[in-house]
Amino acid sequence: MSRVRTVWMLGVVSAVAVTMASGAFVGSGVEPSKGDDNDQGKVGQSRVQRGYNLAPVPLNLRGKNRDLVGLGSYIVNAQGGCNDCHTCPPYTPDHDPYTGGDGKPNAANYQAGGTPFGPGIVSRNITPDDSGKPAGLTRAEFIDLMRHGHDPDNAGQLLQVMPWPVYGKMIERDLAAVYEYLSAIPHAETSPECAPPPPAAAH
């Protein structure tokens, strides 16, 4: 490569660096940005299909966006690991991947919470309530919770253990997909062998 061209390329690189430093590309990663960060972005069909293959429970697709449900399943079941904390036990003995099983999640208590994480901290039931809302949250409340960790049951407190600081960096469309998927799974109850949720603190 000629010296002139190398210098030119360095110029391009530093121009990009300056643009990024000026904030065009760099954000906190927490607030939604424009561009691909909306519901119009094309959903990759391979993820959608894999998501449907991975869902361990029957899905209620009525009134749902099918692409978002599939993508949400992919994020929850192949990336997010929600099952490890929100399903108790996460696997029945015959499917337990840590003893050689196939890793299919425990469908009976899927995402119904009950995993204890120390004093006062138990994963919550994030399956749909009577009105079909996962954890009783609207989509806007859910996305806000995933971004900021505000505890909906204990005003002014932040959710502990729950990796919202990581999940909250997803683009808006992906968080909406997680919500759509959790809206499509069946309601389930916490297994009696797991911890009951702690009483909500007095406000």
Residues making contact with ligand HEC (CB under 6 A): 76, 80-82, 84-86, 117, 121, 123-124, 126, 135, 137, 145, 151-153, 159-163, 167, 178
Q: How far is the CB of 18 from ligand HEC (least distance, A)?
A: 36
Q: How far is the CB of 72 from ligand HEC (least distance, A)?
A: 9
Q: How far is CA 92 from CA 44, 98, 100, 130, 200, in A?
A: 31, 11, 12, 26, 29
Q: How far is the CB of 31 from ligand HEC (least distance, A)?
A: 19
109-117-153-143 Cα dihedral, nearest 10 degrees: -70
Q: How far is CA 61 from CA 55, 67, 158, in A?
A: 13, 10, 32
Alpha-carbon span 10 to 67, nearest angstrom: 42
By C-beta, is 32 or 163 nearer to ligand HEC?
163
By C-beta, is 6 or 79 nearer to ligand HEC?
79
> Which two three-digit tokens encode residue 144?
């806000």
Alpha-carbon span 157 to 115, nearest angstrom: 20
Q: How far is the CB of 124 from ligand HEC (least distance, A)?
A: 4
Q: How far is the CB of 28 from ligand HEC (least distance, A)?
A: 20
By C-beta, is 22 or 130 nearer to ligand HEC?
130
By C-beta, is 24 or 201 nearer to ligand HEC?
201
By C-beta, is 70 or 80 nearer to ligand HEC?
80
Q: How far is the CB of 73 from ligand HEC (least distance, A)?
A: 11
Alpha-carbon span 94 to 135, nearest angstrom: 28
Residues listed for the chain = 203
- The 3 state secondary structure assigned to 55-113 is CCCCCCCCCCCHHHHHHHHHHHHHHHCHHHHHCCCCCCHHHCHHHCCCCCCCCCCCCCC
By C-beta, is 124 or 147 nearer to ligand HEC?
124
